[in-house]
């Protein structure tokens, strides 16, 4: 098995870009490596340290070394990075699946905190990295960066890596942390891309109050319109599938329509120069809330696994390529003339990332805690440390933005640009490998899971349900709230009734959703009825039993 792979690597290494066979060889090798990453990732599933992203990075590095040896140090990769391919084909399924799989109730319960960390926090980190690099690089006398380059560095390194976050935190073990870091990561990536696009549009070499106001206005416009577009496309897909009910004749049609509508939301956003990341994320949330319940049972299973599989393969592909491209000789030739400069730039950027993240995580978590009434809902210091550490990882978005700004079609033309690209790759590799490997042990050390974690989680779920249902209780006699024979005292219930608002935001949303939205767009409990369809029984059960289920 090993000899054919080595010979393939040799053929790929000495390939000429003019031969017709080269693309086939390149794609074949990548498919083999993807399969290899999946198998190795499965074998390391129980590891305390390794994640899928770190595994793919290391395999990419090893593959790049083999190719380098077989090409006599001429090339380390078989494909040239194209940021358009990343943003158009690889990123959409990752972000959409994140929105499609997210636990909506917990996400929107922490929505204000997520927006604080994702939007306001990204801007704070952007400013610190921009001003810090401006002051420190000028003292190093690098001399090849202009004002817009420093601003671009702020946007590039303020983007966290949502993909790694999904792999190092568990949604069931640490639901609050997962919701905060994951939600912040998605909003953070979108904010960084919007900031990056705004920097490309505006001439910020001479900043004044007018330009700052236009910059902020453009940012808010892109943020709001991108979100509304994602919601609109998600509702449109739900309405079409509910009215036509394609599953009566072909489940393939409704599955295809869901996938294409999801991708359409991203492409329409890019067509109108909006944030495709925000658009496709909120489209995923809306489609999981309405559209997914309007299709047949077989289509639900198919779409859920199809979106997860596309996201999974895209994630591995990205990190595999980043690992291979880290050894690109073209870029390191420029840096080899002054390795001290490259090391200094990488160290400064890494330090600014650490400081920039700490500068907003702890203050904004403090502000968020002021708005949380109950002590159990507050974000503790250990949780804040975990949020800070888990969000340090920089990944594919940072690499793609750096290539977009500092290269021409994947090739580096100037020494200064090469230093920035290699420094970006160095920071990405360091934060992914070091932070990625240490995050799981850190979470276990700071937030240990007790032996009776199942009972603890059930009690947390019970307390969460009680906080929603408590306004509806008249006394403490409901057996649902009895745990191990210990009934909640009436005085406690009365006191909680007096302290708890009679109506919550979630209550009014459910009222509005059940009265206006679900009858039009479908959803749980409003599955379309079609005689003779494969899920007639499921329809009756949904209508009778699922309306009261809280998502």
The CATH number covering residue 322 comes to: 1.20.1530.20
Q: DSSP secondary-structure letter at 411?
A: B
Same domain (yes/no): 23, 157: no
How many domains, the chain?
A: 2
Same domain (yes/no): 133, 155: yes
The reply to whether 532 falls in a domain is: no
pLDDT of residue 408: 63
* Average pLDDT of span 284-301: 90
> What share of the chain has pLDDT > 70, as a percent?
72
The pTM is what? Answer: 0.75
The reply to whether 515 falls in a domain is: no
Same domain (yes/no): 248, 383: yes
Q: Is the pLDDT of residue 230 over 60?
A: yes
Q: Is the pLDDT of residue 386 over 50?
A: yes
Same domain (yes/no): 51, 153: no
Same domain (yes/no): 378, 418: yes
Mean of pLDDT over the chain:
75
- Residue pair 340/127 in contact by the 8 Å Cβ criterion: no
Picking from 446, 480, 509, the residue at the C-terminal end of a domain is: 446
pLDDT of residue 341: 78
pLDDT of residue 362: 93
Residues in the chain: 551
Picking from 446, 462, 485, the residue at the C-terminal end of a domain is: 446
Nearest to 285 by CA among 85, 515, 106, 505: 106
Per-residue pLDDT band for 364 (boundaries 50, 70, 90) equals: very high
Same domain (yes/no): 46, 94: no
Using alpha carbons only, how large is the chain's radius of gyration in Å? 25
Same domain (yes/no): 103, 65: no
Ranges 99-113, 167-181, 472-486, 493-507: which has the least confidence: 472-486
Same domain (yes/no): 47, 181: no
* Average pLDDT of span 225-230: 93
pLDDT of residue 204: 63
DSSP assignments along 157-217, one per residue: HT---HHHHHHHS-TTTSHHHHHHHHHHHHHHHHHHHHHHHHHHHS--SS--HHHHHHHHH
Same domain (yes/no): 55, 99: no
Same domain (yes/no): 254, 282: yes
Q: Which residues pair with 408 in a beta bridge?
A: 411
Q: Is the pLDDT of residue 179 over 60?
A: yes
Same domain (yes/no): 102, 59: no
Q: Is the pLDDT of residue 366 over 80?
A: yes
- pLDDT of 402-411, one tens digit each? 888 887 655 5
* Domain with 332 in it: 83-446
pLDDT of residue 3: 41
């Amino acid at each position: 098995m090993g000899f054919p792979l080595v010979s393939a690597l040799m053929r790929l290494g000495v390939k000429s870009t003019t031969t017709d066979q080269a693309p086939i060889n390149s794609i074949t090798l990548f498919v083999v490596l993807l399969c290899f990453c999946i198998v190795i990732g499965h074998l390391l599933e129980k590891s305390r340290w390794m994640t899928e992203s770190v595994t793919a990075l290391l395999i990419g590095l090893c593959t790049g070394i083999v190719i380098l040896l077989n090409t006599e140090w001429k090339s380390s990769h078989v494909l040239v990075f194209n940021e358009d391919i990343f943003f158009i084909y690889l990123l959409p399924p990752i972000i959409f699946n994140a929105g499609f799989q997210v636990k909506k109730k917990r996400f929107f319960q922490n929505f204000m905190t997520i927006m604080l960390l994702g939007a306001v926090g990204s801007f704070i980190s952007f400013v610190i990295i921009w001003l810090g690099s401006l002051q420190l690089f000028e003292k190093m006398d690098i001399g090849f960066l202009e004002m817009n380059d420093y601003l671009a560095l702020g946007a590039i390194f303020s983007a966290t890596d949502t993909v790694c976050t999904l792999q190092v935190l568990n949604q069931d073990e640490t639901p609050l942390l997962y919701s905060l870091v994951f939600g912040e990561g998605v909003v953070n990536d979108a904010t960084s891309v919007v900031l990056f696009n705004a920097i490309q549009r505006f001439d910020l070499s001479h900043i004044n109050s007018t330009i700052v106001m236009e910059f902020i206005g453009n940012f808010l416009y892109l943020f709001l319109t991108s979100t509304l577009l994602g919601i609109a496309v998600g509702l449109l897909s739900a309405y079409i599938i509910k009215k036509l009910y394609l599953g009566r004749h072909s489940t393939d049609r409704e599955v295809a329509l869901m996938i294409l509508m999801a991708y359409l939301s991203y492409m329409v956003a890019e067509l109108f120069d909006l944030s495709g990341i925000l658009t496709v994320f909120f489209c995923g949330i809306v489609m999981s809330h309405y559209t997914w319940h309007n299709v047949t049972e077989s289509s639900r299973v198919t779409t859920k696994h199809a979106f997860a599989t596309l996201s999974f393969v895209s994630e591995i592909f990205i990190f595999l390529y980043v690992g291979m491209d880290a050894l690109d000789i073209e870029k390191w030739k420029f840096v080899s003339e002054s390795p001290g400069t490259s090391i200094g730039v990488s160290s400064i950027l890494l330090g600014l990332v650490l400081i920039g993240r700490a500068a907003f995580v702890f203050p904004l978590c403090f502000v968020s805690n002021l708005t949380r009434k109950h002590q159990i809902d507050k974000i503790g210091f250990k949780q804040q440390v975990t949020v800070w550490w888990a969000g340090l990882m920089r990944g594919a978005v940072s690499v793609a933005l750096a290539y977009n700004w500092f290269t021409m079609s994947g090739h580096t033309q100037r020494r200064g640009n090469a230093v920035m690209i290699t420094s970006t790759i160095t920071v990405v590799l360091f934060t992914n490998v070091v932070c990625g490997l240490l995050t799981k042990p850190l979470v276990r050390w700071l937030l240990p899971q007790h032996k009776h974690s199942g009972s603890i989680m059930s009690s947390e779920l019970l307390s969460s349900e009680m906080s929603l249902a408590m306004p509806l209780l008249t006394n403490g006699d409901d057996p649902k709230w009895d745990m191990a024979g210990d009934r909640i005292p009436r005085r406690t219930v009365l006191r909680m009734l007096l302290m708890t608002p009679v109506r919550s935001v979630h209550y009014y949303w459910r009222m509005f959703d059940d009265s206006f939205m679900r009858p039009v767009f479908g959803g749980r409990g409003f599955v379309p009825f079609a005689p003779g369809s494969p899920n007639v029984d499921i329809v009756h059960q949904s209508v009778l039993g699922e309306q009261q289920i809280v998502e």
